[in-house]
Amino acid sequence: MKNQKNGPWTVLDTTTGFENPWLRVEASNIIHPDGSAGTYGVVRYANIACGVLPIDEEGHTWLVGQHRFPLDAYSWELPEGGGALDTPPDISAVRELTEETGLLARHTRPLGRWHLSNSVTDEVAYGFLAWGLSQGAASPEPSEALQVERIPLADLAARIRSGEITDAFTHLMLMSAIDLARRGEIPEHIAKWLRDA
């Protein structure tokens, strides 16, 4: 294999150290921009990340709690998961919302597209606001031990500010929704709850 350029880096070769249906871990022997040799490890994801901030007519949202293996810690988060690369992100996000909480959403609006850990992964995350909610049946994956909690939106903001909720995706979705509400870019009956959060 010929040397390949990756911006200012030269990639000499790349090997796969681990692979499963969700991700691939690569190690590349490289030449750094300063000319020194090194190795760069990258996690390549097979899916996108998708998340939803659901808001009901009373200004409540839903959190999903689960123990996160990499951190060995319990985490409360907005509904989030993965979606196939060939499926529109909003479809995957709404599916994830229903699977984890049972909620069905009549309306969604994009909140943003983010790279959550771009120094070591190529993961792309898409966040959505959802409203016009009705309750259906949840169907989480059998391997997941989830708790679901409906809370006032202001409580979510307080738990983020206090540091109790540390999930970056949850932070991004709430802050982006508050910004859109302040700019008048979402329906007023939903925006009023965000401006007060």
Q: What is the mean pLDDT of residues 86-99?
A: 96
Cα–Cα distance, 112 to 91 (Å, whole number): 15
Identify the pLDDT of residue 28: 93
What is the architecture, at CATH level 2, of domain 47-195?
A: Alpha-Beta Complex (3.90)
- Name the nearest CA neighbour of 165 among 65, 51, 19, 45: 65
- Name the nearest CA neighbour of 170 among 49, 85, 56, 89: 49
Q: Can you read off the two tokens belonging to residue 116?
A: 């959550």
> Going by DSSP bridges, is the β-strand pair 9-19/4-6 parallel, antiparallel, or unpaired?
antiparallel
* Position 141 pLDDT exceeds 80: no
State what percent of residues in the chain have pLDDT above 90. 88
Domain limits, the chain: 4-45, 47-195
Cα–Cα distance, 181 to 169 (Å, whole number): 18
Q: What is the mean pLDDT of residues 42-49?
A: 96
* Position 142 pLDDT exceeds 80: no
Distances (CA, A) of 83 to 23, 63, 173: 13, 19, 17
Cα–Cα distance, 155 to 21 (Å, whole number): 36
Identify the pLDDT of residue 1: 55
